[in-house]
Amino acid sequence: MKKITILILMTLVMASCSDALLEEPQSIAAEVFYNTPAEVEAGLNAIYVPMRRGSALGALYLCQHEIYTEYLYGRGSHAPLNDYTGLDQTNVSRVGDMWAVFYESIRNANIVIERAPLGTKISPAQLDGYLAEARCMRALNYFFLVRNWAGVPIRDEKNMDVRELARNTQEQVYDFIVADLEWAETHLPDKPRLSGAPSKWSAKAILTDVYMNLHQYEKARDKAGEIITSNKFSLVNVTVAEDFEKLFGADVATSTEEVLYLKYARMPSGQGFAYPQYCHYPNSGYFPPGGFYTFYSDSETNTFLKNWDKNDLRYTFNWYPQTFGLGPTTILLKKFVDKQAVSGGGNDYPMYRYADILLFYAECVAQAGTAPNADAMEKLNMVRRRAYGKPATTADAAVDFKLADYATKQAFIDLVVRERGYENCGESKRWLDLKRLGIAEEIVQAGKGKTVAPRHLLWPIPVIETNYNKAIDPVKDQNPGY
Position 414 confidence tier, pLDDT thresholds 50, 70, 90: very high
The contacts of residue 358 (CB under 8 Å, 6+ apart) are 224, 228, 235, 379, 380, 382, 383
- Band the pLDDT of 54: cuts 50, 70, 90: very high
User: pLDDT digit string (tens) for 119-132?
Assistant: 999 999 999 999 99
Residue 155 has pLDDT above 80, yes or no: yes
| pLDDT tens-digit series, residues 264-303 | 999 888 899 999 999 999 999 999 999 999 999 999 999 9
Where do the domains of the chain lie? Answer: 43-183+452-482, 197-258+353-437, 275-333
| CA of residue 32 relative to chain centroid, distance | 34
The rounded distance, in Å, linking the Cα atoms of 337 and 335 is: 6
Domains 43-183+452-482 and 197-258+353-437 share a fold: yes
Fold of 43-183+452-482: 1.25.40
pLDDT at 268: 85
Closest CA to 376 of 361, 354, 394: 361
Q: How far apart, in whole angstroms, are the C-alpha atoms of residue 5 and residue 282? A: 40
Q: What is the pLDDT of residue 33?
A: 74
Residues 185 and 207 sit within 8 Å (Cβ to Cβ): yes
For residues 471 and 166, what is the distance between their CA atoms, to the nearest angstrom? 5
Asked if residue 117 has pLDDT above 70, the reply is: yes
**Whole-angstrom distance, CA of residue 322 vs CA of residue 320:** 6
Over residues 189-238, the pLDDT tens digits come to 999 999 999 999 999 999 999 999 999 999 999 999 999 999 999 999 99
Mean pLDDT for 365-390 is 98
Q: Which fold has domain 197-258+353-437?
A: 1.25.40
Report the sign of the C-alpha dihedral through residues 376, 425, 83, 167, in that order: negative
Q: Is 70 exceeded by the pLDDT of residue 175? A: yes
Checking if the pLDDT of 28 tops 90, the result is no
Residue 269: the pLDDT is 82
CA–CA separation, 442 and 77 (whole Å): 25
Q: What strands, in cross-sheet order, belong to the sheet with 330-333?
A: 73-74, 295-298, 330-333, 319-321
Average pLDDT rounded to a whole number, residues 42-67:
97
pLDDT at position 18 over 80: no
Angle, helices 354-368/217-229, rounded to nearest 10 degrees = 140
Q: CB under 8 Å to 401, separation ≥6 — which residues?
A: 377, 380, 381, 384, 415
Does residue 242 contact residue 317 with C-beta atoms inside 8 Å?
yes
| Residue 165 clears pLDDT 90, i.e. is over it | yes
Mean pLDDT of the chain: 93
Whether residue 336 has pLDDT greater than 90: yes
Distances (CA, A) of 418 to 39, 63, 401: 46, 20, 13
Average pLDDT over residues 24-32: 46
For residue 6, pLDDT beyond 80 = no
CA torsion through residues 66, 73, 285, 341, sign: positive
